[in-house]
Amino acid sequence: MAIQRLTTVEDYKGFLDRFDTFLLDCDGVLWHGSHVLEGILETVSFLRSHGKRLVFVTNNSTLSRANYVKKFERLGIMAEEKDIFSSSFATAVYLKNILQFPEDKRVYVVGESGITDELGAVGINCVSSADDNGVLMTHADMGTVEQDPTIGAVVCGFDINLNYRKLAKAFTYLNNKEQNAHFILTNDDSTFPAPNGVFPGTGSLAQPLIHSLKRTPLIMGKPNKPMLDCFFSNYHTDPTRTCMVGDRLDTDIAFGANGNLETLLVLTGVTTEEEAFAPSQPIKPTFMIQSFGDLVKAKDA
């Protein structure tokens, strides 16, 4: 099916009339870091005033839902925890409900507070790697990294303070065949969208572990099945009236397509128009728009 390009006020109005619920990716759609993209605040208010439901679906694991609420508020967007669905939350739900993670085991977290907070909120004991932030490792230290029999899983998310000491610990826990700890990535994004371009993302940061262990981790985030299953068990939306909006074909648009939803690609993030239209591109959005913030122009229709 050809991608429907939305460019006129009539296109925007026709598009909005088709849906009641929008699942919105965050980085690259709403904001870059702490910079809200043009027209987003107005579009969010306009959609809500017309009874549209907005759910924010993000692979970014660095904040808990409680802290996302604060971030949204700081940026001028009202949101409640129930409106936010993140890869950290999905990881916590998965460990608790699907793996029934044992109470006497702990999770070693290579990542930021979003993961430890969400795991803690469902009663899972964590060992945060944040204690090793900025702690350099020497060759002599290599003999000091010890096994920890209480570790039942290692969860890796985005970690701006990733270092060799954290990798050495995660490797040691995961390499113990008897312990057989679960290996979970919050998401597999190759790049991380920032205000001035893209940087290595969670999937790239986890490569040293994947390569050295020769183990395939379970990947929670978009577009993978665990996130999808977790989403549909937590939110009951009519799939025919729900649209997934994102800036990446390989995560957001694939996520929507895997859930049989229609999709809208925005061009304010990672995927370019050329990539989306490339004949060799297997993942195609239903719709494409320059920016989600353009939709407020439907007011004038």
Ligand X SMILES: O=C(O)[C@H](O)[C@H](O)COP(=O)(O)O
**Residues known to be catalytic:** 25, 27
Which residues make up each annotated binding site for substrate? 222
Q: Is 116 in the site for ligand X (CB under 6 A)?
A: no
* Side chain identity at residue 102, one-letter code: P
How far apart are the C-alpha atoms of 152 and 106, rounded to whole Å? 6
Bridge partners (DSSP) listed for residue 84 = 56
Closest residue to ligand X, judged by C-beta, is: 201
Q: Is 294 in the site for ligand X (CB under 6 A)?
A: no
Decide whether 106 or 222 has the Cβ nearer to ligand X: 222
Q: How many CB atoms lie within 10 A of CB 33?
A: 10
Q: Is 189 in the site for ligand X (CB under 6 A)?
A: yes
Which residues make up each annotated binding site for Mg(2+)? 25, 27, 247
Decide whether 11 or 189 has the Cβ nearer to ligand X: 189
Which ranges of 122-267 would DSSP assign to H, the alpha helix? 164-174, 202-205, 207-213, 225-234, 254-258
Q: Is 60 in the site for ligand X (CB under 6 A)?
A: yes
Q: Is 271 in the site for ligand X (CB under 6 A)?
A: no
Q: Which of 114, 152, 201, 217 binds ligand X (CB under 6 A)?
A: 201
Q: Least CB distance from residue 49 to ligand X, whole Å?
A: 25
How far apart are the C-alpha atoms of 28 and 267, rounded to whole Å? 8
Token reading at 117: 């907070």
Instruction: Lay out the site mask for ligand X across 151-170 (x = CB under 6 A, - = otherwise).
Output: -------x------------
Q: Is 25 in the site for ligand X (CB under 6 A)?
A: yes
State which H helix or E strand residue 23 sits in.
strand 21-24
| Residue 223 preceded by cis peptide, ω within 30 | yes
Q: How many CB atoms lie within 10 A of CB 124?
A: 24
Q: Is 26 in the site for ligand X (CB under 6 A)?
A: yes
Query: With CB under 6 A as the contact rule, which of the stretches 54-62, 64-72, 94-102, 128-136 interacts with ligand X?
Result: 54-62
Q: Is 202 in the site for ligand X (CB under 6 A)?
A: yes
Q: Least CB distance from residue 30 to ligand X, whole Å?
A: 8
Q: Is 91 in the site for ligand X (CB under 6 A)?
A: no
Q: Least CB distance from residue 223 to ligand X, whole Å?
A: 10
Q: Least CB distance from residue 131 to ligand X, whole Å?
A: 22
Query: With CB under 6 A as the contact rule, which of the stretches 55-63, 227-235, 260-268, 289-297 interacts with ligand X?
Result: 55-63
Question: Going along 93-216, which residue ranges are E strands?
Answer: 106-110, 125-128, 151-156, 182-185, 191-194, 197-200
Decide whether 141 or 199 has the Cβ nearer to ligand X: 199
* Side chain identity at residue 62, one-letter code: T
Smallest CA-to-CA distance from 173 within 94, 219, 110 is with: 110
C-beta of residue 226 within 8 angstroms of C-beta of residue 59: no
Q: Is 27 in the site for ligand X (CB under 6 A)?
A: yes
How far apart are the C-alpha atoms of 13 and 18, rounded to whole Å? 9
| Binding region for ligand X (CB under 6 A) | 25-28, 58-60, 158, 187, 189, 192, 201-202
